[in-house]
């Protein structure tokens, strides 16, 4: 069996699956249940001044009958006094010394307040700290959470303050509610962060009730934006992790968060540069027991590939992620429809006809049966038909050889500018 243990900036855990700072990690009772179920670590629900909360806090998107495709909340940080949380962290760590407990912290941007909080929390024996610069609702209106996290200078300064006193590794949790997450990630690094984690939740409004015209959820007839998470946000999170992982000035470990529901998602995040992952929505949907399949599935995957340690896969796909300007313009794929698998729903035809490049023909064979065929010379390889096709294996996207050598936009522009300066000859 492969070694699943990880070491994220000095924080060790028996496996890469941590519970994210969120409702599942609100108390010692919950975190201990999670560790019993097999979770490798937990980021304790954000500590700070005791907070009042509202009732009616969560909402979810069902997509065509599949529940919890996306999830949102307007809950705030911990609703329990700091000393109660600290006592339970101490007890939990004592019972589970080999599991990682990271305290999520939030504080108004004042140096001495941060210093005090860090010292008190580290005194109870946490393995690391995670600075919550991401919570998008409620706290942000008071200048904390994502209000800090959207300003690189504030991220850097507060990280610096924490690092002035912290003895354990400091993870900075970033908000996705920003144009370019690498700006704040870099700021965190400049402030001395030992690691970064992403993404926190995304600003969202889940819906409006057509009968009452109330927001979903609403609190006594009023709503406010909440933080969006769950399977639907995974591609956004994965991109942000990958962008940070490939950034020249961001050289700290990444804890990946955002829509991870199973071991396969976790592998994707790790391939894209995450050292470990944090999970919340999947646990809220199914309970802590889902970690059993995560651990086992990851282990079988690594064994199947002959990989000894999960650490070996970290970042392995990062070199494959680049800018559009580096993509080969001479690479061609076309759609091929396998008539014997096709069930003749004609969805590919109408999708291509109306919304792509009009290259899927409806034809009739000698027996009078309809079939679909791609005019390959007109196919641009957009993938649309294979994406919407409801049957596995009915449409393959296949590579077609191109006699031209690979050339990217960047190479093309370089070549053109050299030609303009008459340094090379252009024949084609």
Partner 1 sequence: MEKIQRISTINLERNFQEVERALTSQEALEESNRCLYCFDAPCIKACPTGIDIPTFIKKIASGNLLGSAKTIMTSNPVGASCSRVCPTEELCEGACVLNHSTKPIMIGNLQRYATDWAIKNEQTLFEPGIPNGKAVAVVGGGPAGLSAARELARFGYKVTIFEAAEKAGGLNTYGIVSFRLPQSISYWEVEQVEKLNVTIQTNTRVGKDVPINDLLKDFDCIVLAVGMAHVPYLGIEGEDLEGVFDAIEFVKGTKSGKLTKDFVGKRVVVIGAGNTAIDGATCSVRLGAENVKILYRRTEEEMTAYDFEYEFAKQDVVEFRWLTAPKRIIGDESGKVTGIECIKMNLGEPDQDGRRRPNPVEGSEYVIPVDAVIKAIGQTRHLELIEALELLHDSGVVQVNKETYQTSNPKIYACGDVVFGKGNGDAMVVTAAQQGKLVAHSIYKQFKAAGVTQ
Question: What is the rounded distance in angstroms from the CA atom of residue 392 to the CA atom of residue 297?
Answer: 23
> Structure tokens of 342?
């096709």
Interface of this chain with partner 1, residues 20 to 59, rule: CB under 8 A: none
Most distant CA pair in the chain, distance: 83
Question: What is the rounded distance in angstroms from the CA atom of residue 176 to the CA atom of residue 184?
Answer: 10
Interface of this chain with partner 1, residues 384 to 413, rule: CB under 8 A: 391-392
Query: What are the start-end ranges of the E strands in 162-225?
Result: 170-173, 195-198, 202-204, 207-208, 215-216
CA distances from 138 to 47, 57, 82, 223 (A): 15, 12, 19, 12
Site pattern 63..82 for partner 1 (x: CB under 8 A): ---x----------------
Q: How far is the CB of 73 from partner 1 (least distance, A)?
A: 22
| Contact residue for partner 1 among 119, 142, 289, 320 (CB under 8 A) | 289
> Structure tokens of 30?
């919950």
Q: How far is the CB of 406 from partner 1 (least distance, A)?
A: 33
- Scanning 145-153, 259-267, 318-326, 349-357 for contacts with partner 1 by CB under 8 A, the matching segment is 259-267
Site pattern 262..281 for partner 1 (x: CB under 8 A): xxx-----------------
Closest to partner 1 by CB, 115 vs 285, is 285
- Could you tell me which of 135, 144, 199, 132 has the C-alpha nearest to residue 172? 132
| Contact residue for partner 1 among 126, 290, 314, 342 (CB under 8 A) | 290
Number of residues that bind partner 1 (CB under 8 A): 16
Closest to partner 1 by CB, 274 vs 389, is 389
- Scanning 22-30, 209-217, 260-268, 343-351 for contacts with partner 1 by CB under 8 A, the matching segment is 260-268
> Is residue 293 within a helix (H) or strand (E), and if so which, with residue range?
helix 291-304
Query: What are the start-end ranges of the E strands in 231-375?
Result: 254-257, 274-279, 332-337, 360-364, 370-374
> Structure tokens of 243?
């962008």
Closest to partner 1 by CB, 67 vs 110, is 67
| Contact residue for partner 1 among 293, 323, 378, 399 (CB under 8 A) | 293
| Contact residue for partner 1 among 95, 286, 308, 320 (CB under 8 A) | 286
- Residues 251, 244: contact at Cβ < 8 Å? no
Closest to partner 1 by CB, 18 vs 263, is 263
Q: How far is the CB of 288 from partner 1 (least distance, A)?
A: 11
- Residues 77, 46: contact at Cβ < 8 Å? yes
Closest to partner 1 by CB, 15 vs 104, is 15
- Determine, following the binding rule CB under 8 A, whether residue 119 of this chain makes contact with partner 1: no
* Cis-peptide into 328, omega within 30 deg: no
Place of tokens 């409702």: 23
Q: How far is the CB of 307 from partner 1 (least distance, A)?
A: 15
Q: How far is the CB of 287 from partner 1 (least distance, A)?
A: 6
Closest to partner 1 by CB, 142 vs 286, is 286
List 72's β-bridge partners, or say none.
59, 228
Q: What is the DSSP-derived secondary structure letter of residue 24?
A: G
Q: How far is the CB of 293 from partner 1 (least distance, A)?
A: 5
- Scanning 20-28, 289-297, 306-314, 360-368 for contacts with partner 1 by CB under 8 A, the matching segment is 289-297
Alpha-carbon Rg for the chain in angstroms: 25
- Determine, following the binding rule CB under 8 A, whether residue 292 of this chain makes contact with partner 1: yes
Sort residue 312 into left (φ over 0), alpha (ψ -120 to 50) or beta: alpha
Closest to partner 1 by CB, 121 vs 294, is 294
Question: What is the rounded distance in angstroms from the CA atom of residue 258 to the CA atom of residue 241?
Answer: 10
- Determine, following the binding rule CB under 8 A, whether residue 300 of this chain makes contact with partner 1: yes
- Determine, following the binding rule CB under 8 A, whether residue 192 of this chain makes contact with partner 1: no
Quick one: CA dihedral 138, 143, 146, 147, positive or negative? Answer: positive
- Scanning 87-95, 222-230, 284-292, 402-410 for contacts with partner 1 by CB under 8 A, the matching segment is 284-292
Question: What is the rounded distance in angstroms from the CA atom of residue 175 to the CA atom of residue 134?
Answer: 4
Closest to partner 1 by CB, 249 vs 369, is 369
> Structure tokens of 184?
């704040």
Question: Is residue 135 annotated as part of the catalytic site, yes or no?
Answer: yes
| Contact residue for partner 1 among 81, 97, 235, 287 (CB under 8 A) | 287
> Which stretches of the chain bind partner 1, using CB under 8 A?
66, 262-264, 286-287, 289-290, 292-294, 296-297, 300, 391-392
Residues assigned a catalytic role: 135
């Amino acid at each position: 069996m492969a070694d699943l243990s990880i070491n994220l900036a000095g924080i060790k855990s028996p496996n890469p699956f941590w519970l994210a700072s969120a409702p599942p990690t609100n108390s010692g009772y919950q975190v201990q249940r999670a560790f019993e179920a097999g979770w490798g670590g937990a980021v304790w629900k954000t500590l700070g001044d005791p907070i009042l909360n509202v009732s009616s806090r969560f909402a979810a998107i069902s997509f065509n009958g599949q529940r919890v495709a996306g999830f949102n909340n307007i809950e705030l940080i911990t609703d329990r006094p700091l000393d109660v949380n600290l006592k339970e962290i101490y007890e939990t760590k004592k019972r589970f010394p080999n599991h990682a407990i990271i305290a999520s912290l939030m504080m108004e941007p004042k140096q001495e307040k941060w210093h005090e909080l860090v010292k008190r929390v580290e005194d109870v024996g946490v393995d690391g700290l995670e600075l919550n610069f991401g919570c998008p609702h409620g706290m942000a209106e008071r200048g904390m959470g994502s209000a800090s996290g959207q300003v690189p200078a504030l991220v850097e300064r507060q990280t610096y303050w924490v690092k002035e006193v912290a003895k354990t590794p400091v993870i900075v949790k970033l908000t996705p509610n920003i144009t370019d997450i690498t700006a704040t990630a870099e700021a965190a690094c400049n402030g001395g962060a030992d690691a970064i984690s992403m993404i926190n939740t995304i600003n969202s409004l889940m819906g409006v009730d057509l009968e009452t015209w109330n927001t979903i959820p609403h609190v006594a007839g009023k709503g406010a934006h909440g933080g969006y998470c769950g399977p639907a946000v995974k591609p956004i999170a994965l991109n942000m992790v990958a962008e940070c992982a490939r950034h020249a000035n961001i050289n700290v470990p990444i804890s990946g968060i955002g829509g991870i529901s199973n071991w396969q998602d976790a592998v994707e995040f790790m391939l894209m540069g995450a050292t470990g992952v944090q999970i919340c929505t999947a646990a809220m949907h199914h309970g802590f027991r889902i970690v059993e399949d995560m651990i086992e599935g990851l282990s079988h995957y690594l064994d199947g590939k002959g990989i000894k340690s999960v650490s070996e896969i970290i970042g392995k796909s990062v070199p494959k992620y680049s800018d559009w300007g580096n993509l080969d313009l001479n690479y061609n794929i076309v759609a091929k429809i396998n008539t014997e698998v096709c069930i003749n729903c004609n969805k590919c035809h109408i999708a291509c006809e109306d919304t792509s490049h009009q290259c899927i023909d409806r034809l009739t064979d000698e027996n009078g049966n309809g079939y679909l065929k791609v005019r390959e010379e007109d196919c641009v390889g957009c993938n649309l038909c294979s994406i919407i096709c409801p049957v596995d294996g009915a449409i393959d996207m296949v590579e077609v050889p191109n006699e031209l050598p690979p050339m990217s936009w960047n190479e093309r522009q370089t070549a053109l500018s050299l030609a303009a300066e008459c340094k090379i000859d252009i024949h084609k």
